[in-house]
Structure 1
């Protein structure tokens, strides 16, 4: 090994990594499932669907078909299921017997979940570690690609880049309307990679639903078929690194595992769903809970990168806390948190007001997006002189888009050509700045 490499800090020495991909299990034992778990899922599925082939049952559970013929044969010998008809590829159609329906109902009363078989909690923990956000080190070109639809200054890129590379957390603060939320929403794009997550996790006998279509974007729909390619474990799904946003509606209970006493199924909290991605606390300081409560809740996770959650039976489990935490606020961070917590959020980035040159660039950018053929500089000069300079009003990054939308709506309503005129801007500004 060269002397140069030996003198490098350990964190900067590149280590080759094998991309994580969940391999298909050969049998139920390798999948980390007990006989009773598989039986419960199979019987509840047949109770819900009436008749199904062994292959379709395996498909619904996300498990390989290999061990199913023998497993179902044993259930038939126990008079729990019966053959209804033969199916293709040496398969059969199965239905429940009276004994099977009674047993399925008992399983259903214990837990009404029907669907993909769960992944053991330990396997999930290992997957988060293997796909950690700290392994991702986006460069300038990655940031430019992620923010291509926004007008970001070079100064902002120089500050954002190291902050995103830290994989820890940052405050985005400044006046409203300067793009803090837009910036935060695009940060995950810098990583430019996908991750695998289990659809459902099993922890100490409790089922926790992790995959959420409202929070996760699947890379593609893996369609099941008779001759599907079993090159991955179908209990998992490949998604884009997630970005979850929690605004003023955030409650303390949203950060805990939610157990439904009716279905006996639990829902993963926000920080679990955002693992290996980004979690944005938007409009920080306006939540239903006091800022100090939220920050105290996350003191240990931000420092140690793990959290403790309670299951419905009272047992605590240690879970990964592996995401880039972003706090977006219109308030000065020192008004919200004390010095000890600020130390745990090493980057504080101010989203400043655009200068006039940038303000004009924003008009040109949004004019093109909204269908204006050109920017009328005389009309824009009128807007800036009358409604900004004379009113001593600061520029905000959101205003070119908002004002042009009002001009556009005015033109559409009055069946006028889509163009900029001084009195159009007067109309828009008088509406927009009525109480500002």
Structure 2
């Protein structure tokens, strides 16, 4: 599954300070802030924290020394290959505090927005070749009709936008997760990006699962991390899943006024991956308003974000957006919004045959023996009362209910018409007027 990793071109490690794309004063200040905040004193440790090769880090240290902001401590660390120690001078501390007053950001050097834009193109979600085998492999635990996969495959392969709609409890969320699993390759996510001197953190351990981190051994001649610019982290394609809690301000940069730092918006963190908006229509904002926010990104592959100053700037938008709703699309969108969503796929309940397959599969998994009499009672007596409308969630629900009853009664797991009746009673609430 992860054989595709070689398809993505890694960002090359910068060979000179100019190749980082950052100005020297900014890099110098990040070095001073990092030394001050992390209390580190060796070039190899500084290099690891600022994510630059040791040679470039040494150049920045020498620059700080020439400006009398850093001085050598004169002590060689025996345990680290006889490395020289460095400390901030009084002027260096004053400069670090001054820089921290402007922005608390320290650590990994950011990647300039322009350079990041180039990397996004190299690893675009639209470059993914999605095969039927990959999709069925990721959806193996779901019993889906063939025609659904016929629609899903091209939709995922396009890397555009998908609207899944249909009655609740039929696995729209599970299918969204299956799509994510089917992607299967890795991309490079910047720890932070820089625009107009402002640093915006992007890498987020909650959203991004790092594939592996390459640590440099400063004493080794062959550096493992020389393979790519370590200002990036090699990650699985990211997935952001939001539901009823989604509000429009989550799609803006977050500014921390105390630290004077920015954190990337949810969809910026999802770049190169999947953004799932589950339960559309349950948010505080109307669905039409939420979709309107995505119109420019979906049509033009770019998003517009704003800094505290009000200055607006463009970031790449390279994300497969999946909207999932229990409402009919015509009830929540106008025609213009619907036209902009590339694929509309109805996820319906299973037919009787697929319902039985799911029921048998769940029963086997949960060690519940099947009983013909109980199944006939379910299909011939119970389902006609709800117009034989089957849903994917029902087998799990009914079997879990019967397991709970058996555990309570102290009897072995079994299926009987009477247990089916007791389980069924919990699946639906009887229509009645409650007198207050």
Q: What's the TM-score, normalizing by structure 1?
A: 0.90
Q: Quote the Cα distance in structure 2 between the aligned partners of 1:103 and 1:243.
A: 40
Give the direction of change, closer, same or farther, for the CA distance of 1:81–1:284 in structure 2 (3 Å limit).
same
- Between Structure 1 and Structure 2, how many residues are aligned? 419
1:67 Cα shift? 2.5
Find the partner of 2:324 among 323, 328, 336: 328
Which deviations, in whole Å up to 9, do the C-alpha atoms of 1:84-118 show, x marking residues without a partner?
32133452222223322222111111111222110
Which deviations, in whole Å up to 9, do the C-alpha atoms of 1:199-250 show, x marking residues without a partner?
1000111111111122122222434443441211111011111221121111
1:393 Cα shift? 5.1
Instruction: Give the secondary-structure state (helix, strand or coil) at the position aligned to 1:427.
Output: helix
Q: Quote the Cα distance in structure 1 between the aligned partners of 2:258 and 2:141.
A: 45
1:163 Cα shift? 1.8
Find the partner of 1:86 among 76, 87, 95: 76
Q: What corresponds to 1:259 in structure 2?
A: 255
Find the partner of 2:417 among 401, 419, 422: 422
Q: What corresponds to 1:400 in structure 2?
A: 395
Find the partner of 2:272 among 252, 271, 276: 276
Find the partner of 1:238 among 227, 234, 237: 234
Q: Quote the Cα distance in structure 1 between the aligned partners of 2:207 and 2:408.
A: 37
Q: Quote the Cα distance in structure 2 between the aligned partners of 1:47 and 1:428.
A: 63
Show the 5 A alignment for 1:106-117.
106-117=98-109
Which deviations, in whole Å up to 9, do the C-alpha atoms of 1:11-62 show, x marking residues without a partner?
xxxxxx9632011111322112222222222222221232431101110111
Counterpart contact for 1:134–1:166, Cα < 8 Å: yes
Q: What corresponds to 1:45 in structure 2?
A: 34
Show the 5 A alignment for 1:173-252.
173-226=165-218, 227=220, 228-229=223-224, 230-252=226-248
Instruction: Give the secondary-structure state (helix, strand or coil) at the position aligned to 1:271.
Output: helix
Instruction: Give the secondary-structure state (helix, strand or coil) at the position aligned to 2:54.
Output: coil
Q: What corresponds to 2:120 in structure 1?
A: 128
Instruction: Give the secondary-structure state (helix, strand or coil) at the position aligned to 1:325.
Output: strand
Q: Is 1:384 aligned with 2:388?
A: no
Q: Quote the Cα distance in structure 1 between the aligned partners of 2:85 and 2:365.
A: 56
Q: Which runs of 5+ in 1 are unaligned?
A: 1-16
Q: What's the TM-score, normalizing by structure 2?
A: 0.90
Q: What corresponds to 2:47 in structure 1?
A: 58
Q: Which runs of 5+ in 2 are unaligned?
A: 1-5, 432-436
Give the direction of change, closer, same or farther, for the CA distance of 1:346–1:77 in structure 2 (3 Å limit).
closer
Instruction: Give the secondary-structure state (helix, strand or coil) at the position aligned to 1:67.
Output: helix
Q: What corresponds to 1:369 in structure 2?
A: 365
Find the partner of 1:159 among 151, 159, 165: 151
The farther-off stretch of 337-346 and 406-415 is 406-415
Give the direction of change, closer, same or farther, for the CA distance of 1:63–1:355 in structure 2 (3 Å limit).
same
Q: What corresponds to 1:95 in structure 2?
A: 87
Instruction: Give the secondary-structure state (helix, strand or coil) at the position aligned to 2:380.
Output: helix
Instruction: Give the secondary-structure state (helix, strand or coil) at the position aligned to 1:294.
Output: helix
Give the direction of change, closer, same or farther, for the CA distance of 1:324–1:109 in structure 2 (3 Å limit).
same
1:162 Cα shift? 2.0
